[in-house]
Chains A and B, each alone.
Chain A
Amino acid sequence: MKKFKGNGCAEGAAMGLALVKTNYEPVYTMDTVRDTAAELAFLEENIVALGQKLDKLYERTLAQSGEEAAELIESYQMILMDRVFFDGVRARILQEHLNCKMAIKLECERSRESFMAIEDPYLRERFQDIQDVCFKLVMQCDNAVDSLAEVYLTQPTILLADTLTPVDTVKLDKNFLAGFIVEKGGPTSHAVILAKTLGIPAIVGAEGICAQVENGSRVIMYADTGEIIIDGDAEEEIRFSRRMTAGAAEKEKYRREPAGPTYTLDGVHIEVATNSGDADTAALLDPALCDGIGLLRTEVLYMAHEDYPDEETQFQAYKSVAEKMQGKPVIIRTLDIGGDKALDYMGLEAEENPFLGYRAIRICLDRPEMFQIQLRAILRASAFGSIKLMFPMIISLEELRRCKEHLEACKAQLRQEGKAFDKNLAVGIMVETPAAVFLADQLAREVDFMSIGTNDLTQYVTVADRGNTRVQKLYDPYHPAVLRALYHTGREAQNNGIGLGVCGETASMRKMIPFLIGAGVRELSVALSSLDKVRYLVRRLSARQCRDAAEEIIHDCSTSAQAQAVLEKLLGGIE
Chain B
Amino acid sequence: MKQLEVTVPFKEGLHARPAVKLIKLVSGFESTVTIFKNGKEYNAGSITSVLAGGIMYGDQILLKIDGPDEDAAAAALKAYLT
Contacts and interface: CB of A to CB of B under 8 A. Distances in A.
Contacts of B11: 306-307, 344-345
Contacts, number: 63
A126 B52 CA distance: 9
A188 interface: no
A75 B52 contact: no
Interface residues on B, range: 10 to 19
B54 A119 contact: yes
B20 A123 contact: no
Nearest to A124: B54
A78 interface: yes
Interface of A: 71, 74-75, 78-79, 82-85, 111, 114-115, 117-120, 122-124, 126-127, 130, 306-307, 344-345
B47 interface: yes
Contacts of A130: 48, 51
Interface in B27-60: 43, 45-49, 51-52, 54, 56-57
B16 A75 contact: yes
A117 B11 CA distance: 20
A448 to B, nearest CB: 38
B43 A344 contact: no
B12 A126 contact: no
Contacts of B52: 111, 114-115, 118
A529 to B, nearest CB: 33
A118 B54 CA distance: 6
A122 B19 CA distance: 14
Query: Lowest 3 A-B CB distances belong to which pairs?
Result: A118-B54, A84-B46, A114-B52
B48 A79 contact: yes
B25 interface: no
A78 B47 contact: yes
B23 interface: yes
A120 B13 contact: yes
Given A71-B17, A83-B45, 7 more contacts: A78-B23, A82-B48, A84-B45, A84-B48, A119-B54, A120-B54, A123-B51
Contacts of B46: 82-85
A1 B45 CA distance: 56
Contact of A115 (B16, B23, B51): B51
**For chain A, what secondary structure do more than half of its interface residues adopt (helix, strand, loop), or is it mixed?**
helix
Nearest to A119: B54
A123 B47 contact: no
A69 B25 CA distance: 21
11 contacts: A78-B23, A78-B47, A82-B48, A84-B49, A85-B48, A115-B52, A120-B56, A122-B15, A123-B15, A126-B15, A344-B12
Contacts of A122: 12, 15
A119 B45 CA distance: 23
A87 B17 CA distance: 24
A106 B46 CA distance: 18
Contacts of A82: 46-49
A114 B16 CA distance: 17
Contacts of B23: 78
Contacts of A111: 48, 52
Nearest to A344: B12
Contacts of B49: 82, 84-85
**Most chain A beta-carbon neighbours within 10 Å: one of B12, B13, B52, B57:** B52
Contacts of A306: 11-12
Nearest to A84: B46
B27 to A, nearest CB: 8
A111 B46 CA distance: 12
Interface in B1-23: 11-13, 15-17, 20, 23
B8 to A, nearest CB: 12
B5 to A, nearest CB: 22
A75 B20 contact: yes
Nearest to B14: A123
A71 B15 CA distance: 12
**Most chain A beta-carbon neighbours within 10 Å: one of B43, B48, B52:** B48
A90 to B, nearest CB: 14
Contacts of A83: 45-46
Contacts of A75: 16, 20, 47
Contact of B43 (A71, A84, A114, A118): A84
Contacts of B20: 71, 74-75, 78
Contact of A79 (B13, B47, B56, B57): B47
Contacts of A85: 46, 48-49
A510 to B, nearest CB: 43
A392 B31 CA distance: 54
A126 B43 contact: no
A84 B45 CA distance: 8
B11 to A, nearest CB: 4
A55 to B, nearest CB: 16
A62 to B, nearest CB: 15
A79 B49 CA distance: 10
